[in-house]
Amino acid sequence: MTNWTPEAKQNLDEYLGEIRALSQAQGDDAQEIVDDLRVHITTETEDASGSVVTLDHLRRTLAALGTPAEVVGGSGSTAERAPRMTPSAQPGTAGLASGSPVAQGPYGSRARTLIYLFALGLPIFALGFEILLGAMAELYIDPIPTMWHVAAGVLLLLSIGTVDHFLKKARDGHAPKWAGWAFFLNSYAFALSLVYFLVYIPILPVSIIALIAYGLGLMGFAPMACMIASGYQMKMLFRFLPELGVERQYATRRAILGSALVALLVAGYAGPEFVGTRVLQMTLSEDAATRDRGIWWIETLNLENELLKACYAPVVRGIGPTRRWDTQDIDNLTHYRELYFRLTGTPYNSVPRPNIRSTFRTRSVDWWEEERSADSEVGGTAVAGRVHGLSLNASHLDGKIMRLGADPSSPALGYFEWTIEFKNVSDRQREARAQIELPHGGVASRLTLWIDGEDREAAFGTRQQVREAYQQVAVVQRRDPALLNVVGPDTLLLQCFPIQPGSTMKLKMGITAPLIVRDGKSYLRMPFISERNFTIAPEFEHVSWVECDPGITASAPRMTQEAGARGSIALHARMKDADIQRGDAVIVVESGSPAAVRYAGQLGAIFGEMTTQGSPAAPSAPLLCVVVDGSSSKEHAHVDWAAFVDALPDNARVDAVFAGHAVEVFSDVPIAPSAALSDWLGTREYRGGCDPLPGIERALDIVGSQGGAILWVHGPLPVELSSVESLRQWERWHSMRGDEGALRVLAVEAVPGPNRALEQLGRSAFLERVPVLGTLDETLRYTATHLTGADVAQEYAVATTMLPGAPLAEGLGSAHLVRLAVNDEVRKAMLSHDASLQRETATLAVEARLVTPLTGAVVLERKEQYERHGLDPTKHEEAIPGIPEPEEWALLLVVLAMLLMVAVRQTRARMLLRN
Amino acid sequence: MSETSQNFDLSNWVTQARKGLLELCIVATLSKGEMHAYDLVKHLAGIKALVITEGTIYPLLSRLRSAGLLQSRLEESSLGPVRKYYALTDTGREAVRLMGAYWRELVEGVGELVESEHNHDELDTRGETEP
């Protein structure tokens, strides 16, 4: 059973009604004609339509039957449909029906020519021209910034061409197959060209100027031409519905599908950026509710990458080819960097710089991006974000472990020379910046920079002196300096600039460090990079060789042992950057039971001594408060708190503060530490990045007035989230009472990384960094056992002090001992808050050529530069004698062995000749 | 192109020439036997040179039936509407014969004229003249 739509029925009745009237007027049997026609129409339409006859089906049938006038007018009326023959056409052939019919009709050859010229020819020419020469991209802005834009454009042109083919077929009376897809393609072409037209509106004036001035800029007009052409094709498609054999509803559905595809493409391409920009702006709002909503959207939509992009200076505005980069306000940068840490728990510069490139060509938008992203923090005091094209090219860590006395139990010192090479593959000058974490108690004692293949030693001066010199030479004169400063406890900031495009820069740092004595063993941890603005490839390895003096028995979990000369040993390793940061990247020296001994040393006119005590003063801690950073680090979350609690003495009173997004307190009062404490710490929600300072303040409230120890388990804190002033107030209060030692904050680094709070608290009397030697759990257990006074029998302390003159000892030990002693003097001067003492000590530290909280090191290019800044560069002979690289001494050994062999052979030969 | 050909409307001439021809085509087709109206229409519409719209045939069929040249009969169909069949009457058959004879005479006579004109044009093109 076939149903007719009301429109179709009505149209049929109207059609037959007209025929009836005309037939009657001509005196024909109107009823018979109408009846016959009705049967014909019904048969044909229902055969073609299936179950429902629509108006379109009917129109197709009626188109074949002719208009009422044609039908009733008989053969005479067919003249209206007969072709107008040209004289060259042959009568009596098919040419009568199909020859040259439509030059001026719907979708005639004139319209098609225009489409071919402007909607196909022009865009193809402009696209090809732009891809090959990139003229517009060079002049102003890249109109086709990605391959996706090219692909979309090519598909658009193919759509216009295909629709043209369908329309030509329909116009010539051939119903093409798959005609429904013509509506889809046409709609896609129209919608996409409309989008491009809107996006290109801002560049149209430039295109007009470029066209007039240079004859270029056709690309700007291409979307408009395509939009007009596809709009016209759309009109024609709906006009030729019967010829195409497509019903209107079906065609409309296909057209909607084409537009939807474009909407989807646009949303997929520009959506995240568009939404990201809006959401990020919400987080800047002064209204707390709006800010919270913005943060909620970032987490919900997983817009961390967009947030990371916002942490860098350039910010994207606009979409598609007209997108551009603006430099944003520094306050916004700080805000986004804080927010990134709060949401992810990781510093923004600890992950690779986000890819905000959007072009597949070398210049244009990339070039703009480069210009915009020019490192605005050159010569600053922060490591800041990663820069393009700068990487660590080589890292050689040569160390030596020396024992102060002949006794195997005498203390040992370590000295490292770390040679680092940076490589810049970008087309801009770059500054390398990095925070270097030293071995516990270490001090930088040498800085060498290679300029034009020559090694130049650093000059040492006050912090202000060396920074001014660096900034003047690096930032203003753009010459070759390097700067090394202290930024926090055992933490240095290294800067060198400029690393020229396509070249490398090599420098060397000397680091003196004491070995940490624990349980009859001495430990020396490797220095490492804790924050950087350059890339370290995942496969990159630091090569380390540590030579031990003869008689020293040493081992290292991550290093292999090699036999050296005269019974000495060397430890060798190639370590990934992540591995060298681990707590177990440590050298362990067998020490035996120490005795109370004094060792003296000389460095020029400076003398110092080191003393060991078999049983140091027990650092009693009647009250211990554990402050745990609530950041989302697995190291925090996976601490074996049960083992930690077990290691605590039975009589210890322990409270715990969880410094998460809110501060939570666990008070184990009045009983001894229990499993409940470890359960409580283990079940906290470690999420995002948290500010530990409110937690420390809370802990100070708990233990502050009574005195005790605060054990602060922390991770990186790359931003200053709150002030340390309240901690300083406690410090001043204890200082006034004269019981500075009563309050201690023991900082245990669970995850290596920059920590702004530690940097600020560096000069605090009550802050102590607990060296992480081994795993975090081992360090926490050790701390729980020893630093609460539970078990101090196995520990002994090493102290260095300055001597007023040459000691009467028979022999003087290593100059490194004196360096450590001077470093210790600086620390004491810093805590004294006595300006004159600090000035005196700074002079001493400059004389000892050390990088301390009062002094720094700078390498400049020329002598005049040193003189201008009142600096005296270290002469080669004054520099610490370098450690021969293993390759060198191995070569020397080989050469000696060969010489020996030659000598032996010659001797034998002479003896044979004599015989 | 001559001025005459520019002013000459070929399509109008074709229409005039086709007048009456369509009726001959109908009866000639039916001279082979009875035929369903719909099929007859489709058959004639398929002859390209006639350049007809399908609808124009029905009034002609009606007129030819009224003139007594055709007769029709209806037949029920299980698949659709009642089917109408057309066939020639005796008068129709006679008319076919007379019309056919006239058509052949017309074609022969007019054909000779057209052929002779065509040959003349060809000779002119070669630069020859008839004796």
Compute the distance between CA of residue A830 and CA of residue A853 in angstroms, rounded to an integer: 8
Give residue-wise pLDDT tens across range A208-248. Answer: 887 777 767 777 788 999 999 999 999 989 888 877 777 88
Say which residue, B82 or A196, is predicted with more confidence: A196
Compute the distance between CA of residue A881 and CA of residue A372 in angstroms, rounded to an integer: 44
Q: Which residues of A25-53 are buried (b: 16+ CB within 10 A; e: fewer)?
A: eeebbbebbbbbbbbbbbbbbbeebeeeb
Beta carbons of A77 and B37 less than 8 Å apart: no
Beta carbons of B48 and A79 less than 8 Å apart: no
Compute the distance between CA of residue A854 and CA of residue A872 in angstroms, rounded to an integer: 17
Distance from CA of B87 to the nearest CA of A (A): 15
Compute the distance between CA of residue A667 and CA of residue B51 in angstroms, rounded to an integer: 104
Question: Among A130, A154, A132, A128, which residue's Cα sits nearest to residue A143?
Answer: A130
**Is the omega angle on the peptide bond into residue A145 within 30 degrees of 0, that is, cis?**
no
Kindly report the CATH number that applies to the domain delimited by A623-791: 3.40.50.410
Predicted pLDDT at B110: 85
Compute the distance between CA of residue A508 and CA of residue A883 in angstroms, rounded to an integer: 12
Beta carbons of A78 and B19 less than 8 Å apart: no
Place of tokens 């191995």: A890
Q: For A563, phi and psi rounded to 5 degrees?
A: -80, 135
Q: What share of chain B is helix, strand, coil (3-state, %, to 5)?
A: 65, 10, 25
Q: Is A36 on the interface with B (CB under 8 A)?
A: yes
Compute the distance between CA of residue A229 and CA of residue A479 in angstroms, rounded to an integer: 59
DSSP SS3 for A722: coil
Q: For A600, phi and psi rounded to 5 degrees?
A: -110, 155
* DSSP code for A247: -
Question: Among B108, B92, B105, which residue's Cα sits nearest to residue B32?
Answer: B92
Measure the CA angle with vertex A827, ends A824 and A832; round to 5°: 130
Q: Which domain does B96 fall in, by range?
A: 3-126
DSSP B39-93: HHHHHHHT-GGG---GGGHHHHHHHHHHTTSEEEEEE--SSSSPEEEEEE-HHHH
Inter-residue contact A832 to A731 (CB < 8 Å): no
Report which secondary-structure segment, H or E, holds A704: none
Q: Is A738 on the interface with B (CB under 8 A)?
A: no
Query: Which value does ipTM take for this structure?
Result: 0.78
User: What's the number of domains chain B is made of?
Assistant: 1
DSSP SS3 for A566: helix
Q: For A756, phi and psi rounded to 5 degrees?
A: -65, -30
Does the structural domain A390-597 have CATH classification 2.60.40?
A: yes
Give residue-wise pLDDT tens across range B29-43. Answer: 999 899 988 888 888
Residue A804, Cβ neighbours under 10 Å: how many? 6
Inter-residue contact B58 to B95 (CB < 8 Å): no
**pTM score of the predicted model:** 0.65
Inter-residue contact A234 to A187 (CB < 8 Å): yes
Tell how far CA A900 is from the center of its chain. 56
Q: What is the CATH number of the domain that holds B92?
A: 1.10.10.10
Instruction: Tell me the C-alpha to C-alpha distance, in Å, between residue A462 and each of A224, A388, A854, A884.
Output: 66, 32, 6, 30
Inter-residue contact A748 to A783 (CB < 8 Å): yes
Compute the distance between CA of residue A216 and CA of residue A203 in angstroms, rounded to an integer: 13
Across the interface, of A70, A83, A85, the residue whose CB is closest to B53 is A70
Mean pLDDT split into 10-residue runs, chain A, 915 residues: 81 87 81 86 80 83 82 50 34 33 61 91 86 68 74 91 89 76 94 89 78 75 92 90 80 94 87 82 90 91 85 58 55 86 90 65 45 64 86 94 76 90 88 93 92 88 89 75 90 91 93 84 91 93 90 83 80 92 88 66 75 56 79 72 79 83 77 72 85 90 79 88 82 76 83 89 80 87 69 50 60 76 86 86 90 92 84 73 58 66 74 63
**Is the omega angle on the peptide bond into residue A670 within 30 degrees of 0, that is, cis?**
yes
Residues of B in contact with A39 (CB under 8 A): 37-38, 81-84
Predicted pLDDT at A104: 43
Instruction: Tell me the C-alpha to C-alpha distance, in Å, between residue A367 and each of A134, A138, A230.
Output: 13, 10, 35
Predicted pLDDT at A842: 92
Interface test with A, best of B26, B58, B83 (most A CBs within 10 A): B58
Tell me whether strands A52-53 and A3-4 are parallel, antiparallel or unpaired. parallel
DSSP SS3 for A36: helix
Predicted pLDDT at A723: 83
Q: Which long-range contacts (CB under 8 A, 24 or more apart) does A20-29 make?
A: A22/A68, A22/A69, A22/A71, A22/A72, A22/A73, A23/A72, A23/B59, A26/A72, A26/B59, A28/A72, A28/B59, A28/B62, A28/B63, A28/B66, A29/B62, A29/B65, A29/B66
* pLDDT of B2 strictly over 70: no
pLDDT band at B79 (very low <50, low <70, confident <90, very high): low
- Nearest residue of A to residue B80 by CA position? A43
Place of tokens 């085509």: B25
Distance from CA of A65 to the nearest CA of B (A): 4
Question: Among A577, A569, A495, A570, which residue's Cα sits nearest to residue A541?
Answer: A577
Give residue-wise pLDDT tens across range A29-64. Answer: 888 888 888 888 888 888 777 777 888 888 888 888
Predicted pLDDT at A66: 82
For residue A470, the cross-strand partners are none
Inter-residue contact A368 to A324 (CB < 8 Å): yes
Residues of B in contact with A43 (CB under 8 A): 38, 80-81
- Nearest residue of B to residue A16 by CA position? B55
Beta carbons of A46 and B80 less than 8 Å apart: yes
* DSSP code for A199: H
Q: Is A18 on the interface with B (CB under 8 A)?
A: no
- Nearest residue of A to residue B10 by CA position? A85
Q: Would the CA dihedral through A286, A290, A292, A296 be positive or negative? A: negative
Inter-residue contact A411 to A599 (CB < 8 Å): yes
Structure tokens belonging to residue A579:
């591995």
Distance from CA of A41 to the nearest CA of B (A): 9
Q: Does B131 fall in a domain?
A: no
Structure tokens belonging to residue A130:
């732009």
Measure the CA angle with vertex A318, ends A204 and A349; round to 5°: 145
Count of pairs with CB atoms under 8 A, one residue in A, one in B: 116
Across the interface, of B12, B15, B37, the residue whose CB is closest to A36 is B37
Place of tokens 């083919």: A165
Compute the distance between CA of residue A664 and CA of residue A627 in angstroms, rounded to an integer: 10
Structure tokens belonging to residue B128:
């020859």
Structure tokens belonging to residue A515:
């070995």
Predicted pLDDT at A687: 85
Which residues, at least 6 apart from A647, have a Cβ–Cβ distance to it below 8 Å? A780, A781, A782, A784, A785, A790
Residues of B in contact with A98 (CB under 8 A): 48
Q: Does B97 fall in a domain?
A: yes
Question: Among A587, A680, A698, which residue's Cα sits nearest to residue A639?
Answer: A680
Measure the CA angle with vertex A40, ends A34 and A42; round to 5°: 100
What is the three-state SS of A535-547? ECCCCCEEEEEEE
Cα torsion for A280, A534, A508, A568, to the nearest 10°? 110
Structure tokens belonging to residue A82:
């007969």
Predicted pLDDT at A506: 94
Q: Is A27 on the interface with B (CB under 8 A)?
A: no
What single letter denotes the amino acid at residue A163?
V
Which residues, at least 6 apart from A861, have a Cβ–Cβ distance to it below 8 Å? A451, A456, A473, A479, A480, A481
Which residues, at least 6 apart from A208, have a Cβ–Cβ distance to it below 8 Å? A217, A220
Residue A454, Cβ neighbours under 10 Å: how many? 7
Report which secondary-structure segment, H or E, holds A811: none
Enumerate residues 79 to 138 of chain A having a beta carbon within 8 A of any beta carbon in chain B.
79, 81-85, 87, 89, 91-94, 96-98
Q: Is A41 on the interface with B (CB under 8 A)?
A: no
Question: Among B15, B23, B118, B21, which residue's Cα sits nearest to residue A85?
Answer: B15
Question: Among A377, A356, A385, which residue's Cα sits nearest to residue A368?
Answer: A356
Beta carbons of B53 and A81 less than 8 Å apart: yes
Compute the distance between CA of residue A804 and CA of residue A629 in angstroms, rounded to an integer: 44
Which residues, at least 6 apart from A751, have a Cβ–Cβ distance to it below 8 Å? A633, A635, A636, A715, A716
Beta carbons of A36 and B10 less than 8 Å apart: no
Structure tokens belonging to residue A203:
């560049």
Predicted pLDDT at A443: 93
- Nearest residue of A to residue B39 by CA position? A40
Inter-residue contact A541 to A576 (CB < 8 Å): yes
